[in-house]
Structure 1
Amino acid sequence: METAANKLFVVSYDLYVTEDGERDLVEKATKEQPFQFITGLGTTLDAFESQLKGLVAGDKFEFTIASDEAYGEYNDEHVIELPKNIFEVDGRFDAERIFAGNVVPLMDADGNRMNATVVEVSNSNVKVDMNHPLAGEDLTFVGEIMESRAATNEEIQGMINMMSGEGGCGCGCDSCGDGCDCDDKEGHEGSCGSGCGCH
């Protein structure tokens, strides 16, 4: 893997969506807890990477990624009901983690992991929304490049190890760059640039 093809970016940003003509701040990667990612590894949105590609430390940016290049349109078919008993731990329903509004990790029949938001808990079922929380939204990023350089082989390997589940999440914030879905970290959970911009 050529390091020339893989750049390390460290960025701070505010992420906005537009609701009723007003910008709504949904995520923040601060200079104290920035979003860090390596290009070419699939940990962030392609459109996010391409917007930052030619920028260097000190450059400021503002751009909008349309929903079809971000997390796609909201799909009503991704809201499903699951039997309550699959959320049992030692024979008891896990009410501490399974409640409306909470994000829970799930696995599909093929072993793919994903996050779902609990919509409603009834007597026999749990309704979950498998859409990404930012599905259907155009994403506006306003921020600054803190660092931009060729990634070292060690950094690339470390990111690959993290993505494969070895070791901890070194990312800044699953932020929308979207990579890692761990909590933490910034006190946020991983999400958009998903990456964790992280991701």
Structure 2
Amino acid sequence: MEIGRNKFVSLTYQLRLNGAEGEMVEETTKDSPLEFLFGAGRMIQMFENKLEGMKAGEAFSFELKADEAYGQVNPDAVVELPKNIFEVNGAIDEEMLTVGNAIPMQDAQGNRLNGIVLEVSDEQVKMDFNHPLAGDDLHFSGSVLAVREATEEELMEAAGHGCEGGSCGSGCSC
């Protein structure tokens, strides 16, 4: 069976920055593979494009340029925020505001963002909301472990109809 839309894929890979000999930043193994529903929009689009049509047992090795992955570093995504927005019950957790810490936040539209603390002053916190791999070319190498038809439950979950905490009326068993 070939990798294609609505197929459940299991694979191993090594992710290296800026070439096959670059720094390894992530690795999955047979004991803990990457598993995903192909075409559900949860993976980098070009990553899926490179895997489409492959079968279980096939090896792969490809590079995604920064623009095909997480894009270039956007200087507008580095912002200074008033320190008081980090107050919870009138106090600021100074340990949270440590340079290098990732802090989950939301923008004005309610979209979730992760920001990295770059600097902290008495009044401001400078944060970087670029993806940590923005600006980097990504090199993936690995092998496809399995490809199968997705279950109805996996398709429903990918469509945003997953059951959370009880009957959702979708016909799935919760």
TM-score, normalised to structure 1's length? 0.75
Equivalent residue of 2:135, what SS? coil
Letter in 1 for 2:57: G
Letter in 2 for 1:65: L
Partner of 1:9: 9
User: Quick one: structure 1 residues 57 and 22, their matched pair in 2 at CA, closer, same or farther if it must change by over 3 Å?
Assistant: closer
Equivalent residue of 1:156, what SS? helix
Paired residues, number: 162
Q: Shift in Å at residue 152 of structure 1?
A: 1.5
CA distance in 2, matches of 1:52, 1:39: 9
Instruction: Tell me whether 1:103 sits opposite 2:102 in the alignment.
Output: yes
Letter in 1 for 2:116: T
Equivalent residue of 2:80, what SS? strand
Q: Deviations over 1:63-106 (max 9, x none)?
A: 00111110111111110011111111111112232211111111
User: Quick one: structure 1 residues 64 and 156, their matched pair in 2 at CA, closer, same or farther if it must change by over 3 Å?
Assistant: same
Equivalent residue of 1:154, what SS? helix
TM-score, normalised to structure 2's length? 0.85
Choose 1 or 2 for highest CA Rg: 2
Identity fraction in percent? 45
Q: Shift in Å at residue 160 of structure 1?
A: 3.8
Partner of 1:123: 122
Q: Shift in Å at residue 166 of structure 1?
A: 4.5
Partner of 2:154: 155
CA distance in 2, matches of 1:64, 1:5: 22
Partner of 1:172: none
CA distance in 1, matches of 2:158, 2:146: 17
Partner of 2:43: 44
Letter in 2 for 1:57: A
Letter in 1 for 2:144: I
CA distance in 2, matches of 1:18, 1:48: 15
- Runs ≥4 residues deviating over 4 A: 164-167
Q: Shift in Å at residue 17 of structure 1?
A: 0.5
Instruction: Tell me whether 1:85 sits opposite 2:96 in the alignment.
Output: no
CA distance in 2, matches of 1:22, 1:147: 27
CA distance in 2, matches of 1:37, 1:22: 26
Partner of 1:18: 18
The runs of 5 or more residues in structure 2 that have no matched partner are 166-174
